[in-house]
Amino acid sequence: MPRYRVVRPLLHLLSPEAAHGIAVWALKNSLAGRATEADDPLLATRVWNLSFPNPIGLAAGFDKDAEVMDAMLALGFGFVEAGSVTPLPQPGNPRPRLFRLDEDQAVINRFGFNSKGLAHFAAKLAARRRAGIVGANVGKNRDAPDAAADYATGITRVCGLADYLVCNVSSPNTPGLRSLQARAQIEDLIHRVLEARRVAAPDPSKQPPLLAKVGPDLDEAQVQDIAEVALATGIDGLIVGNTTVTRPEGLRSRDASESGGLSGPPLMSLATQCLSRMYAATGGRIPIIGCGGVASGADAYAKIRAGASLVQMYSSLVFHGPELVQRVKRELAACLRADGHASVAAAVGAAHRC
């Protein structure tokens, strides 16, 4: 995997979206390598009755069309989330829509749920070996008159094909999508997707966990509303958060003012604070996946201490390559041992117990 240090300068001569396409092509053709280092047993954890070899996952957005799930698992991720997928194929927003902020090690995207659609996505899920944990992240088509119906359609189609399911209600690049985080809207949506899952998998023992992915820009009232709805509806978990529409002070890159969602290290503090508030508001009663800004084992550990049972990353791979996965895991294990934790689960929410 150190080959990334050689090819990165060449990839960065291309547009970010073209470079991503080449990365996916390399993964499809088994040219990206695989992890050779076994996971530290300390990192094994169990959430939703699923056994994760480590808590470091790939966030949705990298593998939108479920084409390289197993190749990414082979790089050492403990789990991979594919999507977001929309019921019908759609092209997304006009290009350019992806920007590397090299000086900030960050990314801005305004893809707008570009997707090959559910039929392609489900076929890819159905064809895989089912070795390793994969989540399916669903969204809505841009012009859908009934957003919740689109999510229910997605959940119905992928239920039974993935190990866990996610409704993405927080992308900033689809008009009106983030309004689904309002209390009445998210409550209605969750009820409808839970019912869609029940119909698709009547046996409760065979129902995959269902999560909602919310953004990092929530205010205190929104956090409280979502926490109360999550607990009342019985949804299985939350992902906190998505990209941010804010622009933290100190960004240096020339593209920092581009519209879209910002990800990478500048998002770390904001997303982790939101995660911490959500953990406190839910009383730690439902698992949370922490996402946003992770670039090191210390970052992953901070998410876990703030309340994350699992952690996802994506944007930092653009700058550090696939070898980052192994480094993050080694550093996380060192952090856990340094603080005397016998497991990942023992560290979840530790910052709230100080």
Spatial CB neighbours of 321, under 8 Å, sequence gap ≥ 6: 1, 4, 5, 8
Strand-pair category, 288-291 with 45-47: unpaired
Residue 56, SS3? strand
C-alpha pair distances (Å), 165 with each of 92, 135, 139, 160:
22, 6, 11, 10
Catalytic residue numbers?
Answer: 171
- Distance of CA 94 to CAs 109, 173, 177, Å? 11, 12, 18
Say if residues 313 and 329 touch (Cβ distance below 8 Å). no
- Strand locations in 111-260 (E): 133-138, 164-168, 210-214, 237-240
Instruction: Quote the CA–CA distance of 42 and 320 in Å, as a whole number.
Output: 24
Q: Is the dihedral of CA 243, 130, 78, 234 positive or negative?
A: positive
Residue 276 · residue 302 · CB < 8 Å: no
> Which run of H or E residues covers position 224?
helix 220-233
Strand partners, 98: 109
